[in-house]
Amino acid sequence: MLESNYPLSNLPNEMLQKIVNFGDKSLFRVVDRKINQISSQFFCAVNRDIATVDPLLASVLDRNSYQRHEEIFKRMMNSLHVIADSYECDQIVPLSPTRLNDEFNIAQSMVQNIRAKKAIAEVEDFHIFLERVSSQTGLELPAKQPLENDQNYHARVWQFLIAKPQVKNMVQLNLSSCGLRTLPKEIGQLKALNVLNLNDNKLTALPSETCNLMALRELKVRDNHLLTLPDEIGNLGALKRLDLIHNKLRTLPDEICHLYHLQSIFLQRNQLVRLPDGIGSFISLQILNLGANHLTELPAGLGECRELAALDVSTNRLIHLPRNMGQLTRLLTLKAYNNRLESLPLSLTKCSRLRFLDVSCNDIRQLPKDIGQLKLLTELNLGTNQLQTLPESLGEIRGLHRLLVEENGIKELPMSLIKMDRLRFFDIHNNPGLKVSKDIWKHFGKLKTTIDY
């Protein structure tokens, strides 16, 4: 038995592999970065879906502490459970084993189970794929020959289909809601595809061959179980719309920033903890939806997305927005509600085209004094924050239709509000001690403004 203080980095890889797979698991408490890499390779090598299951792994490996090692395996186990779920594997044990030794054994058992189920799934999914291609091109599938196994039959049918112009020149393919757990690599041969719909399946990964579809303009993969995107996604140079709503993505590959023609990307309801630093390369991006993720900050490069018109970062864990937000001069809609924002960047007032701003349910204590420069705003939601006052310049937003400042600590409203002549709804309820002047009551009474007091 090895001593616990033995320098494991001196061991040959084969020995490390044996330790990880079959050896004394108590050594895990003192392992260094090298054994960490070997242990991750153990999981990654046995199933292609797991190969890039956690892009954050590299940064975690830099920290040599038992807690971090435990975090690696927790993430891997979570990912294994997602994949096992997708392939409808039998549940082996609860998600939180009591001992690290158990965790290794559980992972090994799960991987074996997944491999067996995946082999079956690939055959079944290929058949679904062939049927969908057949039905959407009007081609009848050849009959299966006596004694012909499924793999040979599917290969023969695909050769038959791909030789037909109706298939070779397909511009749209709908594979939504058909229970796919795997996407056949043959998808990459449909070079003329403009639109690929994979919504509402059980995919945990996309094959790299998907990124051979150079003519693809729209890729829909919402409501799946995606844990990662292929690094080759940057090859989809014609892509304009990418829909990844409701998956299990934690990070995005840096190569996604090579999609220079991308106009809209929908990433809400994932598990994103960070965005690529090169996000500013999205020079054509107009819509970016990052709602309901786990983001704690936004990269400064976001300010370089000069064509951005709609930005949704609601329901994250943001403490601040980038200081250079003012560079987004084409921004029309900004949703940043339900975060932990303590203030708004002063440069935000330079977003002069902004029409809708919702920063409710944060911890904002003070607004930029020049917020009145946002003269085109029609709706401003500041509810449920920590505001004590409203700036006088607010009254300069004369076209405002809806103003919500409920559940703050506002004691007095600025008299400049009487400049507003289009306000239809004004919510000021639950501001303890708030006093509203008679002139303000009279002004909004004439406008027949609905006031929630």
Helix (H) or strand (E) holding 119: helix 100-137
DSSP character for 29?
G
Residue 27 lies in a domain: yes
Residue 378 lies in a domain: yes
Residue 376 lies in a domain: yes
Select from 207, 197, 57, 40 the least CA-distant residue to 118.
207
Residue 83 lies in a domain: yes
Assessment of whether the complete model's pTM goes beyond 0.85: no
Indicate if the alpha-carbon torsion angle 295, 300, 303, 308 is positive or negative.
Answer: negative
| CATH number of the domain that residue 392 is part of | 3.80.10.10
Q: What is the pLDDT of residue 7?
A: 37
Q: For residue 377, count other CB atoms closer than 10 A to its CB.
A: 23
Q: What is the pLDDT of residues 294-314, one digit of tens each?
A: 999 999 999 999 999 999 999
Indicate if the alpha-carbon torsion angle 388, 394, 398, 404 is positive or negative.
Answer: negative
The DSSP string of 140-200 is PPPPPPTT--HHHHHHHHHHHHHTSHHHHT--EEE-TTS--SS--GGGGG-TT-SEEE--S
Q: What is the pLDDT of residues 193-221, one digit of tens each?
A: 999 999 999 999 999 999 999 999 999 99
Select from 84, 93, 86 the least CA-distant residue to 112.
84
Q: What is the pLDDT of residue 27?
A: 33
Q: How far apart, in whole angstroms, are the C-alpha atoms of residue 308 and residue 303?
A: 9
**Cβ atoms of 445 and 419 closer than 8 Å:** no
On the question of pLDDT at 57 being above 90, the answer is no
Q: How far apart, in whole angstroms, are the C-alpha atoms of residue 382 and residue 391?
A: 13
Residue 296 lies in a domain: no
On the question of pLDDT at 100 being above 70, the answer is no
Beta pairing class for 402-404 and 379-381: parallel
DSSP character for 214?
T
The residue out of 75, 97, 115 marking a domain boundary is 115
Residue 194 φ/ψ, nearest 5 degrees: -100, -35
Residue 18 lies in a domain: yes
**Cβ atoms of 86 and 202 closer than 8 Å:** yes
On the question of pLDDT at 24 being above 60, the answer is no
Q: What is the pLDDT of residues 244-261, one digit of tens each?
A: 999 999 999 999 999 999
The residue out of 100, 115, 130 marking a domain boundary is 115
Q: How far apart, in whole angstroms, are the C-alpha atoms of residue 187 and residue 171?
A: 12
Residue 174 lies in a domain: no
Q: What is the pLDDT of residue 38?
A: 41
Residue 214 φ/ψ, nearest 5 degrees: -65, -20
Encoded amino acid at 450, one letter: T
The residue out of 59, 83, 115 marking a domain boundary is 115
Q: How far apart, in whole angstroms, are the C-alpha atoms of residue 373 and residue 360?
A: 20
Q: What is the pLDDT of residues 137-179, one digit of tens each?
A: 999 999 999 999 999 999 999 999 999 999 999 999 999 999 9
**Cβ atoms of 286 and 264 closer than 8 Å:** yes
On the question of pLDDT at 44 being above 70, the answer is no
Number of domains in the chain: 2
Domain residue limits at 111: 8-115
User: 113-137: b or e for each residue (b if 16 or more CB lie within 10 Å)?
Assistant: bbeebbeebbeebbbbbbebbbeeb
Residue 106 lies in a domain: yes
